[in-house]
Chain A
């Protein structure tokens, strides 16, 4: 069974940093592209970032480019999102998601709240 178990969310002040983690199991993690998708409270889904299966290629939405960094450790079956210079508008539930051009498997989501 494919599982994506997330951790690392929480409360942070504006300008602060937070690192999200997503541990994968039930499939060969190193063979799959991964993404982060977020959803502000009461609002729609927003694609955040992509990373290739090897970790050599990544892409970001304009709103987070230069502040967020996606990475992975295939030896640990884990995906990460380092979030720096956080803003109130980054407040959202963050999901790690498996696959390339469509999203079949989703993590349980983790809430990040940015507030003073």
Chain B
């Protein structure tokens, strides 16, 4: 079964840090661009970051650039999102998803992990 599983979410104070992980099973990560998408509870989807198959290119949503860092380890079939200087507005469910090519749809998706930034 093709599966992505996120972990690492939790409650953190403003200004704090978290590392999210995304583990793949049932398929090889290396052919995919990998992305992070977030969703404020009750609101819409927002793309956050993406990383090229070999990790050589990374792109970020303007509001997280400089604070978040996306990375991957294809040998471990894993992707990561290091989040620093967290803000209340970063609160949401964070999904990882694979993209076969730049213009392709996001598929597969993980089940999401909740990040809550609050004092």
Decide if A and B are genuine partners: no
